[in-house]
Amino acid sequence: MEQLTVNQKNIWGMSADSALKKAVTSWVSIVLVGQWAFAVYILSLYAIPLLIGAVHQADEISPARGFDTSAGFDSIMFFSHILPAAIMASSGLLQIIPKIRKTYPKFHRWNGRVFFALGLSGAVTGLYLTWGAGIRFSDIGALGVTLNGVLILVAIFFAWKTAVKKQFVQHQRWAVHAFILVNGVWTFRLFLMGWYLVNQGQNGNNNNLDGPMDLTISFACYLLPMLFAELIFWAKRSKTENVKWLAAMTTSIAAVITLIGVIAAAMMMWGPRLSMVFSTIF
Ligand code: HEM
């Protein structure tokens, strides 16, 4: 009987707690690689061409329609939207890594302030570009990212407020959701490219990004990771082994989906554009 209990608690020599920890670490490591690849893409396609005066050449390669230095206020909004994304993609995830948080608390506070300030500005400029400057393929296709923008404001407001009030349990929860929401546009690219890779092309998608699958992905890109995060929080609080195993399994699935997305986005989006930008400009 005792043997049975031990067997129930350990799978492949791992307890539920250590399986969950390993699954979360794997997921975070994959996200880190994908985030840094995105940062390299933004720097190479937008920041460096702007600095060296090669915007015209980069514009030929970039998918962005607002990439233009002659549109006055809209150009300012465009570059204030895109360029800080490289900073957020480079250092945002460091906030979530416990060892960095504990060893460098001052860095955590400053990096957090920078992330929140840039996240708020990214949401506001994004909403402006979509509905003010009219950069959207279709109204219905823009609903997912619009809700994403509004939720960024809400999550950052509460994450910041709870940090100031030193309510760290609530802060951690809001900050993780803020991180997921700020990265909704990154996850959107992962899911879309991953979907294309798995289906070997479009399936329920169209070029206006308002096919049934485009719409599903436009909401799932932040709601699904938020759901996974809640499951992890629940499992960490829970004393039930099965809940922890369930969270470890779903987190492992999330890690695999993210890995497919990072590979697909690197292969189909970031990689080809980077090689074009390097051969044209540098
Ligand atoms: C704070 C989180 C956000 C980040 C980090 C971010 C990042 C980016 C990046 C890197 C691009 C360049 C696209 C590429 O080359 O693939 C972009 C473009 C854009 N984003 Fe965001 N974004 C965020 C939030 C939003 C939100 C909430 C909206 C809308 C409500 C939005 C609307 C846009 C628009 C309209 C463009 C320009 C597309 C074009 O010119 O064709 N973004 N964003």
Kindly give the confidence (pLDDT) of every residue in the chain, 282 residues in length, as a single tens digit, with 9 standing for 90 and above: 444 444 456 888 899 999 999 999 999 999 999 999 999 999 999 999 999 999 999 999 999 999 988 999 999 999 999 999 999 999 999 999 999 999 999 999 999 999 999 999 999 999 999 999 999 999 999 999 999 999 999 999 999 999 999 999 999 999 999 999 999 999 999 999 999 999 999 999 999 999 999 999 999 999 999 999 999 999 999 999 999 999 999 999 999 999 999 999 999 999 999 999 999 987
Whole-number Å distance, alpha carbon 112 to ligand 1 midpoint, is 21
**Ligand 1 and 42: CB distance under 6 A:** yes
Write b or e for each residue in 165-193: b if 16 or more Cβ atoms lie within 10 A of its Cβ, otherwise e: eeeeeebbbbbbbbbbbbbbbbbbbbbbb
- Tell me, yes or no, whether 14 lies in a domain: no
What total of structural domains would you count in the chain? 1
187 is in which domain, residue-wise? Answer: 22-281
Whole-number Å distance, alpha carbon 73 to ligand 1 midpoint, is 16
Cβ neighbors of 142 (< 8 A, separation 6 or more) are: 130, 131, 136
- Tell me, yes or no, whether 142 lies in a domain: yes
Closest CA to 223 of 126, 143, 162: 143
- Tell me, yes or no, whether 4 lies in a domain: no
Closest CA to 146 of 94, 215, 237: 215
- Tell me, yes or no, whether 273 lies in a domain: yes
Question: How many residues in total does the chain contain?
Answer: 282
**Ligand 1 and 151: CB distance under 6 A:** no
- Tell me, yes or no, whether 7 lies in a domain: no
Whole-number Å distance, alpha carbon 238 to ligand 1 midpoint, is 37
**Ligand 1 and 82: CB distance under 6 A:** yes
Helix %, strand %, coil % for the chain, to 5? Answer: 80, 0, 15
- Tell me, yes or no, whether 254 lies in a domain: yes
User: Distance between CA 80 and CA 129 in Å, rounded?
Assistant: 11
Looking at the CA of residue 273, tell me the nearest atom of ligand 1: 15
pLDDT of residue 281: 84
pLDDT of residue 8: 56
User: Distance between CA 274 and CA 279 in Å, rounded?
Assistant: 9
- Tell me, yes or no, whether 113 lies in a domain: yes
